[in-house]
Amino acid sequence: MKIPREVLVRKRLHMENEENLSDDNDNWLHEEWMTCPACHQPLFRIDQSPLDGDYHFYCDRCPVRLDVSVYEPKYDQIQQALPHCPEYEEKNAALIEVMEAHLKPCQCGGRFRHDAPRRCFSCFTPVIVDDPAYIDLYPDEDIFERALDAERQKKLERWRAQFFPDLEDKWKGPSETEQ
């Protein structure tokens, strides 16, 4: 589900400007411009929307993100195999742990983890380390645009393919999960 840009980002701010992107009451996803402490690349951080139907797993070595949709058959299979937990937080933590164990490694050799640090897309330095679960990181707000000029659209598509690959074969086979 795409959330319209105007809902998420009210205006583009220059990095040196310290004011919020929007009123505190409107900033319920805690969107914020930040810079990488190592290379000073501008980055855009935003809380994952509770309306999002995906779980986001980040590589623990590089900035690649892998999404698992609640509509995928493997998600249903994993969820159905979990023991009954009356508490949502307990069941969700168990679900995330099992999904992590079933995901194939990243192409760099790292593991996809729900709580892996969020890394700069330029130099791979961890930039969101403390409690990164349910926080997403982007290079700019173009990710939320519905219409871009051709050059910006190509740049965005290259970026998505590199850092948010849509992998059909993301799950380990049965023998691989027992290791």
Residue 65 has pLDDT above 90, yes or no: yes
- For Cα atoms 34, 142, 61, give the angle at the middle one, nearest 5 degrees: 55
Least confident of 62-66, 70-74, 156-160: 156-160
Phi, psi for residue 35 in degrees, rounded to 5: -125, 150
Instruction: Report, as an integer, the average pLDDT of 88-93.
Output: 88
Which range in 108-112, 128-132, 135-139 is most confidently predicted, on average pLDDT? 108-112
Tell me which residue of 44, 170, 14 sits closest to 118, measured CA to CA: 44
Least confident of 46-50, 122-126, 127-131: 46-50
Average pLDDT, the chain: 83
Question: At 79, is the secondary structure helix, strand, or coil?
Answer: helix
Instruction: Report, as an integer, the average pLDDT of 163-171.
Output: 88
Contact 47, 134 (CB under 8 A): yes
Q: Residue 146, Cα to own-chain centre: how many angstroms? A: 19
DSSP letter at 134 equals T
As beta bridge partners, residue 48 has: none
As beta bridge partners, residue 66 has: 57
Residue 60 has pLDDT above 50, yes or no: yes
Instruction: Report, as an integer, the average pLDDT of 32-48.
Output: 92
pLDDT in tens, 142-151: 676 777 788 8
d(CA 34, CA 127): 9
d(CA 149, CA 47): 27
Which pLDDT score is estimated for 77? 94
Q: What is the value of pTM for the model shown?
A: 0.78
Structure tokens at 32: 């914020």
Instruction: Report, as an integer, the average pLDDT of 83-103.
Output: 91
Residue 13 has pLDDT above 90, yes or no: no
d(CA 27, CA 31): 7
DSSP letter at 154 equals H
